[in-house]
Amino acid sequence: MTWIQKTPDIDEKLSILAHDSQYDLACSCSINDDDRRHRSKDDKWIYPVTLSNGGKTFLFKTLISNVCVNDCKYCPLREGQNTIRCTLQAEELVKTFLQYYQKGKVVGLFLSSGVMGSPDKTMEQINKIALILRKKYFKGYIHLKVIPGASNAAIEETVSLASAVSINIETAGEKNFNQLSKRKNYLQDIIRPLKLISQLTEKGSRYSRVKKTTQFVVGASRETDQEIIKYSWELYQRLGLNRIYFSAYQRGLGEPDLPGEISSQSNNDILTREHRLYQADWLIRKYGFTEKEILFQDDGNLSLTLDPKEIWAKNHPEFFPVDINKAEKFELLRVPGLGLITVDYILKFKKNGGYFRSIEDLGKTGKRLKKAKQYLKI
């Protein structure tokens, strides 16, 4: 008996490609289930994105193709894997996205792809979709992935069409990167595009409005958290990245010889590492911490039991207790258990003549305020 596999129609292709886009987790990190990506009723991924004002919006996220010539050992879509491969034509993707947009289900597009033949051939398809939307239909938010190894000309065209761009750095440094891929060149295919994107979008430039991000795959190679934070700090300071994402390696998807497959760390450990890296990144981006103030264990990793802010506090007893009625914002942000919203409330309360007499003046005493009380003088 002969079995004939029919060519997937548009909806089937979108279902496959939207599902496979889950492996690029940029913009999906959350500690709240309500903030995570959700599958729509017609089997497509819709991604919630938190706005700076605290509101929510939604992105339509998919791959153009899951065909890929790369050998990234951690990626289930790498060449040679037994998976259903398909590719969307530009017109198909534009039509489907606009249907969602016009119904008010999404406000923007997050577009990526496997590497079809060559980086520039793939970038041509990504840019073609963005160009059709920009010229005829859509002036809103478009996030485009830059394919490793793309030419300078292709990258500049991408930046000119996008609201945000990203290229995944994957890991910290060439030595660790070589554990993940033999075909890609770390300096030429990853670092060069990152530097070019930074130059094209620097303050005062034509494309300064374009946001730029990257992502580390945590636990696939033998990198330590200390190496990741060091590279993150340099990406923020030297290249002006707006955001860095961390994605815990999903064990069982990669090559058997991948360091992440044979590591002694459990899946739960790797997920906790991801969470701690986000906490350390938050301290650097929002709380005024420097790379040198993030403290690590002897193995170069962050503690799995305590968050990095509490680790810093325990190692700096001379800084505490902080007098809540006299302290400035910088001092209050160093107190474990106090977040940005609480600190802003404290400062506003004091500015309006308020005076704290007990921790209860901050509201209901939950776990965080109980922790903060140990470091405060009231």
Residue 263, class by beta-carbon neighbours within 10 Å (0-12 exposed, 13-18 middle, 19+ buried)?
middle
Per-residue confidence (pLDDT) for residue 266, from 0 to 100: 86
- Tell me the fold of 10-293: TIM Barrel (3.20.20)
Model confidence over 85-97: pLDDT tens digits?
Answer: 989 899 989 998 9
Please give the single-letter amino acid code of residue 323: D
Q: Please give the Cα distance from 23 to 15 (Å, whole number).
A: 14
Quick check: bond before 336 cis, omega within 30? no
Same fold, 10-293 and 316-377: no
CATH of the domain spanning 316-377: 1.10.150
| CB 38, CB 19: distance < 8 Å | no
In sequence order, what are the residues at sequence separation of 6 or more whose Cβ sits closer than 8 angstroms to the Cβ of residue 257? 73
In sequence order, what are the residues at sequence separation of 6 or more whose Cβ sits closer than 8 angstroms to the Cβ of residue 62? 14, 17, 18, 21, 44, 45, 88, 93, 110, 111, 112
Answer yes or no: is pLDDT of 99 > 80. Answer: yes
Model confidence over 22-48: pLDDT tens digits?
Answer: 666 554 433 344 445 555 555 444 555
| CB 276, CB 229: distance < 8 Å | no
Q: Please give the Cα distance from 23 to 254 (Å, whole number).
A: 12
| CB 143, CB 164: distance < 8 Å | yes
| CB 190, CB 148: distance < 8 Å | yes
Please report, for residues 3, 17, 324, the alpha-carbon distance to residue 320 in angstroms, rounded to integers and kept in the order given: 72, 52, 11
Model confidence over 209-255: pLDDT tens digits?
Answer: 999 999 999 999 999 999 999 999 999 999 999 999 998 888 888 99
**Tokens 């947009």, located at residue:** 101
Per-residue confidence (pLDDT) for residue 129, from 0 to 100: 96
Nearest CA to 21 among 85, 129, 110? 110
Element (H, E) at 373: helix 367-373
Model confidence over 171-184: pLDDT tens digits?
Answer: 999 999 999 999 99
Where do the domains of the chain lie?
Answer: 10-293, 316-377
| CB 90, CB 65: distance < 8 Å | no
Answer yes or no: is pLDDT of 73 > 70. Answer: yes
Residue 137 has what DSSP assignment? I
311 pLDDT tier (thresholds 50, 70, 90): very high
